[in-house]
Amino acid sequence: MTTGTEIDADLRPVLPLTAEVNAAGHLAIGGCDAVELAREFGTPLYVFDEADLRDRCREYVREFSARLPDVGVLYASKAYIGKALAQLLADEGLGLDVVSGGELAIARVAEFPLDRVYFHGNNKGREELAEAVAAGIGRVVIDNFRDIELLDEVAREAGVRQPVLLRVTPDVDPHTHSHITTGVLDSKFGFALAEGQAEEAMKRALAAPNLDVVGVHCHIGSQLFETEPYAAAIEKTLAFAADMRRHGLNLREFSPGGGIGIQYTRHEGPPPLATFAETIATAIKGACARLGLEIPRVTVEPGRSIVGRAGVALYSVGSRKDVPGVRTYVAVDGGMADNIRPAIYDAKYEALAAGRPLAALEELVTVVGKYCESGDVLVRDVRLPHLEAGEVLAIPASGAYCLSMASNYNAALKPPIVFVRDGKARLVRRRETYADLLATEVD
């Protein structure tokens, strides 16, 4: 924040880099007044700070490249992807991790360099694989035995020897929400190291004439604050890779996944990215030295930590309901249709009045959405000024896994998205219309 009038210092880590209080006393992002943005584009509105996005991309490239000889930073599209973001990421030199034909289609429309795109997923369809191979996708991450068979066939038909990584589950608990834990034994993703499953998969993949196994991949979970589980997963996965030399594996690439968490609330934040990069690099270098492996190319796949903090959701306040002695509900014009995270992960957020971010926090309220579920709660128990109907409420750290999980529940219209930078707002996605809702109906 750049002005003399400071927003609560505890909120800084959850607001985008350029967030400040402007001369009007309003929250401003990228030099754009949040109340004005709400007026111009309507609410709910998602605002992304371009400076923050670019800064995160550069920080990832810098911190990992400083510690490892050959690094690729791939943005995990599942956190949120659109054409403008894909173009910005391409411009910053990042790669992309996609998990569906749809995400691949967005990458293609954005003219994203497809050799920097990796295709993940635990149940890829034949058509999706064919599209990916035909498009010249950089890597397919093999997740199961069916992937090996299907992809080998698809690659043969396309006359391609497809580079692949093999995803293993190292059975490491990263201590995050069970819905976003991916690398334990009881997971739908990847091949378990236990019981020889991963070894069998490696043998089959190495024997598949149209697959080129360039390396291994593991991913333990998302929204992680602890770095130690990464070190454990890296150690196990690289030990497996070293062992697989018996079957002819020449390890050229390794991915320890994505997953450093972001700060959503005042008092709970992750360690700095440098600490995360240091843990990963040290674990990789140490394991390689012990196992007699050359340090491979390392690809990391951050999603949340690239876009999470850059995005702020703006809502208009509507009705309120006091339940004396219990709680006060303040309702806004969005909710679980644009942000389902509180409902499915019990995710926590902060909130602030965009028109008076410095005002006294007079009351404790629960911010709810407008959808027909009691679980449609955006922020439980947050201190705010007494908000009147029509005032704009900002929910920071809304850039990741909100828009990409948005639905049309209650026939809600998905919100517009603006990118802000140097005092200019660029609409990159318009609000859906009733016509959009009806476009797929067949008479």
Q: Can you tell me the distance from the alpha carbon of 187 to that of 144, in angstroms, rounded to the nearest whole number? A: 12
Told to judge if 372 belongs to the known catalytic residues of this protein, a careful annotator would answer yes
| Residue whose CB is less far from ligand PLP, 168 or 332 | 168
Of 73-81, 263-271, 319-327, 336-344: span binding ligand PLP (CB under 6 A)? 73-81
Pick the closest to residue 228 from 180, 264, 176, 306 (CA basis).
176
Instruction: Give the torsion sign (CA, 247, 248, 254, 257).
Output: negative
Pick the closest to residue 317 from 379, 266, 375, 372 (CA basis).
379
Instruction: For the CB of residue 75, give the shortest distance to ligand PLP in the complex, in Å.
Output: 9
Number of residues that bind ligand PLP (CB under 6 A): 17
Instruction: For the CB of residue 145, give the shortest distance to ligand PLP in the complex, in Å.
Output: 18
| Residue whose CB is less far from ligand PLP, 257 or 355 | 257
Instruction: For the CB of residue 54, give the shortest distance to ligand PLP in the complex, in Å.
Output: 17
* Residue closest to ligand PLP when measured from CB atoms: 303
> Which residues between 382 and 441 bind ligand PLP (CB under 6 A)?
none
| Residue whose CB is less far from ligand PLP, 221 or 396 | 221
Tracing tokens 């690239």 back to the chain, one arrives at 306
- Numbers of helices and strands, H then E, in the chain: 12, 21
- Copy the structure tokens of residue 241: 């890779």
> Which residues between 89 and 128 bind ligand PLP (CB under 6 A)?
97, 120
Of 5-13, 15-23, 104-112, 299-307: span binding ligand PLP (CB under 6 A)? 299-307
* Rg (the chain; Cα; Å): 23
> Which residues between 160 and 199 bind ligand PLP (CB under 6 A)?
182
Instruction: For the CB of residue 419, give the shortest distance to ligand PLP in the complex, in Å.
Output: 20
> Which residues between 224 and 263 bind ligand PLP (CB under 6 A)?
257-259
Q: Can you tell me the distance from the alpha carbon of 371 to that of 333, in angstroms, rounded to the nearest whole number? A: 9
Exactly one of 18, 162, 237, 305 binds ligand PLP (CB under 6 A); that residue is 305
- Copy the structure tokens of residue 149: 């068979």
Exactly one of 103, 128, 301, 376 binds ligand PLP (CB under 6 A); that residue is 301
Please name the residues in contact with 292: beta carbons below 8 A apart, sequence gap of 6 or more. 242
Tracing tokens 């992304």 back to the chain, one arrives at 48
Instruction: For the CB of residue 101, give the shortest distance to ligand PLP in the complex, in Å.
Output: 17
String marking each residue 338-377 x if it binds ligand PLP according to CB under 6 A: ----------------------------------------
Q: Can you tell me the distance from the alpha carbon of 396 to that of 314, in angstroms, rounded to the nearest whole number? A: 9
Q: Can you tell me the distance from the alpha carbon of 282 to that of 307, in angstroms, rounded to the nearest whole number? A: 26
Residue 154 sits in the site that holds ligand PLP (CB under 6 A): no
* Long-range Cβ contact pairs of 409-415 (< 8 A, separation 24 or more): 409/336, 409/337, 409/371, 410/337, 410/370, 410/371, 410/372, 411/437, 412/334, 412/337, 412/338, 412/371, 413/437, 414/337, 414/338, 415/43, 415/44, 415/45, 415/46, 415/313, 415/334, 415/338
Instruction: For the CB of residue 78, give the shortest distance to ligand PLP in the complex, in Å.
Output: 6
Tracing tokens 């955006």 back to the chain, one arrives at 378
Residue 230: alpha-carbon gap to chain centroid? 18
Instruction: For the CB of residue 50, give the shortest distance to ligand PLP in the complex, in Å.
Output: 19
Catalytic residue among 32, 57, 288, 372: 372
| Residue whose CB is less far from ligand PLP, 303 or 334 | 303
| Residue whose CB is less far from ligand PLP, 210 or 305 | 305
Q: What are phi and psi of 64, to 5 degrees?
A: -80, -40
CA distance to 109, 120, 210, 253, per residue, from 148 (Å): 28, 13, 10, 18
| Residue whose CB is less far from ligand PLP, 49 or 301 | 301
Exactly one of 26, 139, 219, 309 binds ligand PLP (CB under 6 A); that residue is 219
| Residue whose CB is less far from ligand PLP, 37 or 81 | 81
| Residue whose CB is less far from ligand PLP, 18 or 182 | 182
Please name the residues in contact with 288: beta carbons below 8 A apart, sequence gap of 6 or more. 238, 294, 295, 296
Instruction: For the CB of residue 97, give the shortest distance to ligand PLP in the complex, in Å.
Output: 6
Of 37-45, 277-285, 296-304, 340-348: span binding ligand PLP (CB under 6 A)? 296-304
Residues in contact with ligand PLP by the rule CB under 6 A: 76, 78-79, 97, 120, 182, 219, 222-223, 257-259, 301-305
Catalytic residue numbers, as ranges:
372
